[in-house]
Structure 1
């Protein structure tokens, strides 16, 4: 079927229709997108499932039509600005593999539209309805996944402002969590920003956000409420209150949550944003295991921004963990079987002390945003080298020319591990290109989440 986009009509038409059989409106939007059905409607717009006729595979996409429910010129103007702002946010944030990509933003028939990636999957609210409450393990996995997305979002000075189970989709293709609906997201342009009106979903909205003063860690509050709802099926208004906070443990429905996770959740939903976790990285530090002793030197070097020494220590540690210290290079199979826990620790330390600028996961995000996958693609690989500053003026630079300070491009460090493809060259002057070894690492990062 083909869906009419006219808000006063919305007639479903046969697949071969060019014009709506009821109102006569054109069904092909911008000579490219055929709406198929209505997906939903919110305060600022209506969303449609559509087909992109310009692509050979005719893939699905999502059309969002600006359709404000607010009354009054000022309110409609504000809503229009938010709609445009959503497009701006998605253009930048959609480079992350767990945020929908923006395909287009335009005005047609005096209406604003944006077209974005369709994420096949199921919302966490739907998952809760079908499978019941989440276990402690599932909540830990959810936090680990979402906090890494929020690291990326908050590094761009963006507050999502509407994190809830309905806005988190488990993607069918790889079971990864995807954060959607940036319709009320806000770019922070100053330390304190006043909006004066409630934006967000009641119950999930942090107290300061409800007062028109959202902070970056307002998203952490909403994420904490999301976890409590998935653990208990209850909503915050159901929980008895105390001076210390909500008493939610009596609603666990047979679930078991250890004291460590309890403390993390309680601090996430702390009503005073000054006492709440201040960053996603801070939460991850409590969520992930304590840094093993073997990584203490790496942590110490990163803490004092000794980037070159930390890069060399990373190489030494990875060779040691893989049992390849004497050979001084890793085979593809060594990378494919590299212990997930060790890989997470190394990456977490780099991300933490670089403020989200360096780390294997940062490199993975950049590589995937360029269209990279496990299989080698020379054009994408060279684009990646240029993006992270490893390739300058068509030349792969030598190790001594790397930028070992915080002004380096995102993803510039760590420079990596010596692989079997270029191991001999690396032994001479540490100038080598990962080649297939890098793609094995990208794959392992994805497997280790």
Structure 2
């Protein structure tokens, strides 16, 4: 993972935050700042995510974070509570494809989530200028992500912001990790009715644009389907509201070309058909659970794999670490 430029709202480099000395900024957005830090007691590097919704909060000279107004105070506290709940829940996971949370704590009138840090790059970086990705590459990525996502859903959570920037590929074995769950961001956006703060155009399904949209596992499935579509087409999918407007308001064809059409020269019909299934506009028309989609999407296991004991939770084949996996590019979001 590469470091990013400095952020004027961030804590200074070298700052001692409890047991951690901040080394650099490795990510920042509208709702938080992520630091690379060194655990000074255990002598290893960690990533620390700070809750900092910059539309609602400011940092004073004493490094404490304060809401900008009384109205912001309510929304800030609402999001902070959900940020801590997210940290608490993620800390219970011991899954190789979900970001590992080591601890969480409150300080400076805000909160922090301490995560395991590993060398790697975002999927966004890996696919940039990569050329045509192989089907083997796609399956190596999606199979373990489905396992991780199913664990999340079984815990009663949704990710709500799956996109190439939030999927991390480890350098050591190219295995994927889901990052940056959107609980706090979604809580604030829903409360303030600011839809633009809680969606990622192209990856967000239509129900997330609605205040009372029916969200469930199918919401994350749409987003992961959009990630696969991005890889096979080299284009970000058409935004969900534009698709709805074209079909329902103007009675035109869906402006999103089907995966079965654009990828037929390079990918199996099975893969393409199931990408299209995940990208259905209506929630009821998509796979309703990860296991349902996985059973249709992934090739059946070989006789050797069938002979091995499997977990009853799903029928997802573990990821391989083939040397054919290609990695390249920068850390720019796509």
TM range (shorter): 0.7 to 0.9
Partner of 1:280: 290
> Could you tell me how far 1:161 is from its partner in structure 2?
0.2
Distance 2:228 2:173 in 1: 21
Unaligned runs of 5+ in 1: 14-26, 188-193, 293-320, 322-338, 362-444
SS at match of 1:36: strand
Out of 55, 68, 91, the position equivalent to 2:53 is: 68
Q: Compared with structure 1, are the counterparts of its residues 124 and 6 closer, same or farther at alpha carbon in structure 2 (3 Å cutoff)?
A: closer
> Could you tell me how far 1:197 is from its partner in structure 2?
5.2
2:96 corresponds to 1:108: no
**Aligned pairs, number:** 287
Partner of 1:42: 29
> Could you tell me how far 1:41 is from its partner in structure 2?
0.9
Contact 1:245/1:270, CA 8 A, preserved across alignment = no
> Could you tell me how far 1:167 is from its partner in structure 2?
0.6
Distance 1:97 1:148 in 2: 9
Out of 5, 14, 17, the position equivalent to 1:29 is: 17
Out of 283, 288, 310, the position equivalent to 1:347 is: 310
Unaligned runs of 5+ in 2: 1-5, 57-71, 247-251, 323-334
Contact 2:122/2:164, CA 8 A, preserved across alignment = yes
Distance 1:263 1:342 in 2: 28
1:84-123 to structure 2, matched below 5 A, reads 84-93=84-93, 95-123=94-122
Contact 2:86/2:183, CA 8 A, preserved across alignment = yes
Distance 1:232 1:448 in 2: 24
> Could you tell me how far 1:9 is from its partner in structure 2?
7.0
Distance 2:178 2:44 in 1: 20
Contact 2:205/2:281, CA 8 A, preserved across alignment = yes
Query: Between Structure 1 and Structure 2, which shows a larger proportion of helix residues?
Result: 1
SS at match of 2:169: strand
TM-score, length of structure 1 as denominator length: 0.56
Distance 1:8 1:291 in 2: 50
Question: Could you say what the CA RMSD is over the residues aligned between the two structures, in angstroms?
Answer: 3.5
> Could you tell me how far 1:282 is from its partner in structure 2?
0.5
SS at match of 1:222: helix
Partner of 1:256: 266
> Could you tell me how far 1:150 is from its partner in structure 2?
1.2
Q: Which moved more, 1:157-166 or 1:104-113?
A: 104-113
Q: Compared with structure 1, are the counterparts of its residues 289 and 65 closer, same or farther at alpha carbon in structure 2 (3 Å cutoff)?
A: closer
> Could you tell me how far 1:258 is from its partner in structure 2?
2.2
Structure with the bigger RCO (C-alpha within 8 Å, sep 6+) is 2
Q: Which moved more, 1:114-123 or 1:250-259?
A: 250-259
Partner of 1:125: 124
Q: Compared with structure 1, are the counterparts of its residues 91 and 259 closer, same or farther at alpha carbon in structure 2 (3 Å cutoff)?
A: same
SS at match of 1:219: helix
Contact 1:104/1:114, CA 8 A, preserved across alignment = yes
- C-alpha offsets along residues 158-206 of structure 1, whole Å, 9 cap, x if unaligned? 100000011111111222111111243799xxxxxx8655323222111
- C-alpha offsets along residues 212-252 of structure 1, whole Å, 9 cap, x if unaligned? 33222100000000101111221122898765672144995
Q: Highest CA radius of gyration, 1 or 2?
A: 1
